[in-house]
Structure 1
Amino acid sequence: FKSAAGYVSRVHIVQQRALMLLRDLIVSKCTSIGTELQQSDTFTSYIAPTATGPGSSSTPATSSSSTSAPGAESGTASVSKVTLLGLTEILNANFQAKLDEVLPLIRQLEERCIERKDSQIYLNDILGVYYDSRLALLSPVLGHYLTSCCAQSPEPLNTLVEQGIPNLLSISVDECKLFHQFFSLETVNTHLKSMVEGIGMVVYEKFRAYVLKVDDLKELSSVIDNLRNTLLLGKLKSAGEGGTMLSGVIHKMIQDTQERFIFRASMFIKDVIGQFRYNFPDMLPYLRTVGDTTVALEKDAHFPTLNNTLLLLNTMHKAVEKGVFEGLAQEAIGVCTDLLVRCSDIISGQRSKEKIEFPREEANLFLVRHLLTLRESIAPYDANFTFVEKWVDLSSLVNKKVTIQEKTRDTKKDVEAHLKVTCERFIAECTEKLLANWAQLGQKLKKESGPPTSGAVQLQAGAASQLEALLKEYATVMNATKQQVKEIVMILKYYLPNPLTINILFRPIKGHLMEAYQTLYNGLNTYIQDYNRSNRKAEPLTALTPKELLQWIEEQEKSAHSGSPQETAPRPLAFDLNLKAPSPAPAATPTPTPPAVAP
């Protein structure tokens, strides 16, 4: 009894030696199985380089079927017929058949771990060797398969995702089943997760190497969409335990692809959208040329700067997180707006040198067309385009003070502001040109008429020659005005596809013209009446009545609406222009209010 403690210690030592021998036997068996399978003909012929290269017929297939039975011996399968999943099925079957010899010993060790927690260290050693053996067996096979598939594909990254991920899920499911055949304790599941993630890292390393080589934003967006579908459509969940363990690897793939996408998007804004390398000849396809019979630009005919911006926004919207999208979109829209304004200035300067009646007006409509498309395109995005600009103010550096200034900007409102200012400028310039001739005629009419006396206008001279010259000048001005109205309607129809937008821009011009003409018509009518009274004649007033002129203008406006289906056109303007009409003639100083713009 006194020596019991010593005997207990000896028994414990003997048990530890027995457990060590048990561990060494299982470890040796697991290692020898892995080495044997790696040296088998099936394994070596599959991963060995072929003489015909990766594009030959011996390239591994994507099918999960195999011509060899799961229990077939190594080397009996032809490499031209065996597939990735077929090969792994053969390797797993052989691995299981050989490791089944020590399965009773593994069960004994697990029972010992339940009774004594200190025995867990021996099981952990076995799990470590099992992990290394399985990874050394599967990694070359999976890596060779991925390399072969990507080598013969024009888009290797998408091929890796579309073919590599499903095969990875199938391998992880088989690996979980094989693992649970030998290890039943729940405490070893962490080792299983590490092993499945290790197999997934083989795909991840190949994936990352290809991601860093891809510059195309569409391809990167497509990859992100495919990876998200793997997560969101239940593909991982349907793969069971193995799929759940791979979720971390899939998330890392998405994050790496998004980082690459963000970098390439920033470079796209800088090198493609923001790099202004256009001259006036590059803008000619988007302008109306003299003698051109085309009545309107095609709906999708837009300057490359705008097309590139819209392409980026559309590609980026679903590829990155909302906050990242807002930041990049603000930068892209701001750069695009500034460059479109610059293009408008170049067009205005160059057109002024040519024999075109409305050079600046066409430049304004070029800008209006593109800003309307930009506004319409960014409206559906549920994003906040407001951001804060911060900069260091060094103006007070003399007083040894440096302040940080900040300013809040809204990119969407900036587009609206540019659009509003451009529309107002177009209306004002068109109105000024139309009323310039009427102002000269009004000056002459006032000169030939005396100051009002008791509400009547006395004529200084009532000679027929003066009346004839006045009416002839009126006819010349009227013909010139009609030609100008036709030209304005023509350029409106050419640049703007929406009849409602044309109406909104033309309505203030029409209102200003009619108000000026009403004043002039009243003066002419009074002049004729006084002439007839003083000369005892009955000369008729041959000028168009305001109603007749309005009808003619409306007919011209209706002609602009023909062939322009409103339902396919972009959303019209939605702000008040609030223009002040220039004085039509010195005889009167009207201050008309333009018609309200329909939302």
Structure 2
Amino acid sequence: MLEDVQERLVYRTHIYIQTDITGYKPAPGDLAYPDKLVMMEQIAQSLKDEQKKVPSEASFSDVRLEETKSNNLTKSGSMESLNPRPQTTISPADLHGMWYPTVRRTLVCLSKLYRCIDRAVFQGLSQEALSACIQSLLGASESISKNKTQIDGQLFLIKHLLILREQIAPFHTEFTIKEISLDLKKTRDAAFKILNPMTVPRFFRLNSNNALIEFLLEGTPEIREHFLDSKKDVDRHLKSACEQFIQQQTKQFVEQLEEFITKVSALKTMASQGGPKYSLSQQPWAQPAKVSDLVTNVYKTIKVKLPLTLRSMSLYLSNKDTEFILFKPVRNNVQQVFQKFHVLLKEEFSPEDIHIIACPTMEQVNLLLSVCK
């Protein structure tokens, strides 16, 4: 009786994953980022302002997502790398009702199944559910990037992958399953070989060179085992999303400087390989006045766009530790590009030209980037 109930439960879970997670069609409101986060932030701020006027035992900042015994969606006390630490404020994206629907459905489904079915069966279902959830998040992230901005799509994906990783941590089970498959490559090659007209005379040989014996020995299918780990899959997509964010933000800030440095490197390479000698300041695209305009544009771009990036990170992540960890590589990349540019200026330009170019010092660059420390 119990086994029959479990079989029915597993079957219904498969159907649920296919229809409500894999086949989920997001409504416009589901993809209304960052608008819905801004709205929730404004509501939270208005509640705080009201509570300042009317004393209360508990402020809005102390509100936490209630975790019932039925869902077991407890947050881990100590998380690594990008996982947020306990904090005094809540990001709108952290509220259970603000999670993307497939994330909420996946976690609620797993929490209800956790103590109802065998561990091995749960591992298989969790792998299927998490894989479907990740694919739905990738699709939603792409839609948000098209409808809003790329940074909104990236931060949406990063935030929800963080939620997934944090919420599956309390499940005391392995999220690894083993898949067995047959590799028929050798069988195919042996079949083509035996069908060759040149092998027909070898069918009747009574020694080890018999074509049929070779086919049986060489054409045996290989059994391959694949281990799928849904936790590692979440981590892999999270790492990829963070790397894309870092790369895109670095490009946004200093792409023009990087292109200039690349041009100069190509010119140096040509000269070292026997090409014509050059004077960089005499190149039409590298005259001191034009380089000065280039540097000014890059500095203005950072000054204007950096606060917008930090604002978006705060809106989606709302955790200073997480924001610092995510933005640190961007800051390091920008600093390294400016350092390379300073070295290039000293090597290729005269002191007078360097004065005309007026590149910001490393201290000025560091001060500009220090707002996220």
Q: Same fold (TM over 0.5)?
A: yes
Q: Which of 322, 327, 334 does residue 119 from structure 2 map onto?
A: 322
Alignment-derived partner of residue 373 in structure 1? 163
Counterpart secondary structure, 1:390? strand
Q: Which of 174, 185, 197 does residue 384 from structure 1 map onto?
A: 174
CA distance in 1: counterparts of 2:110 and 2:289, whole angstroms: 64
Alignment-derived partner of residue 31 in structure 2? 284
Are residues 1:275 and 2:275 paired? no
Counterpart secondary structure, 1:298? helix
Shift of 1:503: 1.5
CA distance in 2: counterparts of 1:486 and 1:271, whole angstroms: 41
Q: Which of 359, 367, 372 does residue 551 from structure 1 map onto?
A: 367
The one-letter code of the counterpart of 2:292 is L
Shift of 1:509: 1.0
Are residues 1:308 and 2:54 paired? no
Alignment-derived partner of residue 153 in structure 2? 363
Shift of 1:423: 1.6
How has the CA–CA distance of structure 1 residues 544 and 257 changed in structure 2, closer, same or farther, with 3 Å as cutoff?
Answer: same
After superposition, the C-alpha distances for 1:379-433 in whole angstroms (9 at most, x for unaligned) are 1111122111123455535728655543121121121112122222221222233
Contact preservation (8 Å) 1:458, 1:530: no
Bigger RCO (CA 8 Å, 6+ sep): 2
Shift of 1:334: 2.0
Contact preservation (8 Å) 2:180, 2:224: yes
Counterpart secondary structure, 2:93? coil
CA distance in 2: counterparts of 1:274 and 1:525, whole angstroms: 57
Q: How does 1:75-94 map to 2 (within 5 A)?
A: none
Shift of 1:469: 4.8
After superposition, the C-alpha distances for 1:533-570 in whole angstroms (9 at most, x for unaligned) are 9xxxxx68754321122122111x15xxxxxxxxxxxx
Counterpart secondary structure, 1:407? strand
CA distance in 1: counterparts of 2:247 and 2:221, whole angstroms: 44
Alignment-derived partner of residue 299 in structure 1? 94
Shift of 1:259: 4.6
CA distance in 2: counterparts of 1:471 and 1:544, whole angstroms: 10
Contact preservation (8 Å) 2:288, 2:357: no
Are residues 1:428 and 2:255 paired? no
After superposition, the C-alpha distances for 1:190-244 in whole angstroms (9 at most, x for unaligned) are xxxxxxxxxxxxxxxxxxxxxxxxxxxxxxxxxxxxxxxxxxxxxxxxxxxxxxx
Are residues 1:338 and 2:84 paired? no
Structure 2 gaps of 5+ residues are 43-90, 192-218, 273-277
After superposition, the C-alpha distances for 1:223-279 in whole angstroms (9 at most, x for unaligned) are xxxxxxxxxxxxxxxxxxxxxxxxxxxxx5x66654543343232222212223236
How has the CA–CA distance of structure 1 residues 266 and 426 changed in structure 2, closer, same or farther, with 3 Å as cutoff?
Answer: same
Contact preservation (8 Å) 1:528, 1:541: no
How has the CA–CA distance of structure 1 residues 323 and 530 changed in structure 2, closer, same or farther, with 3 Å as cutoff?
Answer: closer
Find the structure with the greater CA-based Rg: 1
Are residues 1:417 and 2:236 paired? yes
Alignment-derived partner of residue 324 in structure 2? 503
Shift of 1:516: 0.9
Contact preservation (8 Å) 2:31, 2:143: no
Q: How does 1:219-238 map to 2 (within 5 A)?
A: none
Counterpart secondary structure, 1:381? coil
Task: Calculate percent identity across the aligned residue pairs.
Answer: 27
Contact preservation (8 Å) 1:441, 1:474: no
How has the CA–CA distance of structure 1 residues 528 and 265 changed in structure 2, closer, same or farther, with 3 Å as cutoff?
Answer: same
The one-letter code of the counterpart of 2:243 is E
Contact preservation (8 Å) 1:344, 1:367: yes
How has the CA–CA distance of structure 1 residues 299 and 341 changed in structure 2, closer, same or farther, with 3 Å as cutoff?
Answer: same
Q: Which of 474, 478, 481 does residue 299 from structure 2 map onto?
A: 478
Q: CA RMSD in A?
A: 3.9
CA distance in 1: counterparts of 2:320 and 2:245, whole angstroms: 17
Structure 1 gaps of 5+ residues are 1-251, 534-538, 559-599
Q: How does 1:399-548 map to 2 (within 5 A)?
A: 399=191, 404-442=223-261, 467-524=288-345, 530-531=351-352, 542-548=358-364
The one-letter code of the counterpart of 1:428 is Q
CA distance in 1: counterparts of 2:232 and 2:266, whole angstroms: 49
CA distance in 2: counterparts of 1:460 and 1:404, whole angstroms: 65
CA distance in 1: counterparts of 2:114 and 2:296, whole angstroms: 58
CA distance in 1: counterparts of 2:254 and 2:360, whole angstroms: 16
The one-letter code of the counterpart of 1:408 is F
Q: How does 1:151-162 map to 2 (within 5 A)?
A: none
Shift of 1:444: 8.5
Contact preservation (8 Å) 1:393, 1:405: yes
CA distance in 2: counterparts of 1:448 and 1:413, whole angstroms: 44
How has the CA–CA distance of structure 1 residues 495 and 520 changed in structure 2, closer, same or farther, with 3 Å as cutoff?
Answer: same
The one-letter code of the counterpart of 2:31 is L
Q: How does 1:112-191 map to 2 (within 5 A)?
A: none
